[in-house]
Amino acid sequence: MQLSEFMERVSQMSKEKKIKKEKVEKKLKEQEIDVEEKQLNEETIQDTPIEEVEVVDELTQASARIAELEGEVVKLKNEYFKAYADAENMKKRLQNDFDSRMKYRIQSFALDILPVIDNLERALGNTQQQDSNDSVLKGIEMIYMQLIEALKKEGVEEINALNQPFDPNFHHALMMETIEGVDANLVVEVLQKGYKLKDRILRASLVKVSE
């Protein structure tokens, strides 16, 4: 065999070896790709249930949190309504107290004035026999009438007792007397006038009652 033929033979073998090597490498690379894809698919298959479990856990936690917040909302609403009711009750009590104070604001003053009226009435009773033109008598009458009118404007009025059935809420019996032709338990004489302030008794009438 000539040298040229030998060299050509060697070159041909080298090319075939190289081609074979490339084929082997290509096949190995394809196998590696298949393995990677298979692993990736396995990982995807394995990861999917975990992600679903995580989502379920998150939903469960969210539901529990919502329920907790709803409970807190109900509790806060109850506390609000209770506080509102307490505030309204307090407001009503304060308003009632204020109205009561305004309604009976003159009570203490009226109680102090009643003895003055009593004395004026006694003075007028004792001067009935005097001259009606007496300027002193007229002055006493004017003062008396002015006081009565001023008290009436504030709701102070005399209790009507004479010839009325005896009522322990308005009358205080000092004497009992049997009177022919008069029904029992009637006020036959007023010993001291009684007065009321609107719907409140300032002073009960002192009376004599039939029996």
Looking at the fold, whether 70 and 120 belong to one and the same domain comes out as: no
pTM attached to this predicted model: 0.55
Residue with the bigger pLDDT between 38 and 149: it is 149
Q: Average pLDDT over the chain, rounded to whole?
A: 80
30 sits in which H/E element: helix 3-103
Looking at the fold, whether 79 and 154 belong to one and the same domain comes out as: no
Looking at the fold, whether 118 and 47 belong to one and the same domain comes out as: no
- Half-sphere exposure for 146 (CA within 13 Å, toward CB): 6
At residue 59, the pLDDT reads 82
Indicate the pairing of strand 171-177 with strand 205-210: parallel
How many folded domains does the chain comprise? 2
The contacts of residue 174 (CB under 8 Å, 6+ apart) are: 191, 206, 207, 208
Radius of gyration of the chain (CA): 57
Residue with the bigger pLDDT between 105 and 32: it is 105
Share of the chain above pLDDT 70, in %: 71
Looking at the fold, whether 96 and 37 belong to one and the same domain comes out as: yes
Residue with the bigger pLDDT between 52 and 110: it is 110
Looking at the fold, whether 99 and 28 belong to one and the same domain comes out as: yes
Cα–Cα distance measured from residue 136 to residue 8, given in angstroms and rounded to the nearest whole number: 170
Which whole number is the average pLDDT over 94-100?
Answer: 85
Cα–Cα distance measured from residue 159 to residue 152, given in angstroms and rounded to the nearest whole number: 12
Looking at the fold, whether 201 and 121 belong to one and the same domain comes out as: yes
Strand partners, 191: none
Q: Which two tokens stand for residue 139?
A: 């002055």
Q: Domain of residue 66: give its range.
A: 1-103
Which whole number is the average pLDDT over 52-61?
Answer: 73
At residue 131, the pLDDT reads 58
The contacts of residue 185 (CB under 8 Å, 6+ apart) are: 165, 166, 209, 210, 211
Q: Which two tokens stand for residue 116?
A: 């003055």
At residue 21, the pLDDT reads 63
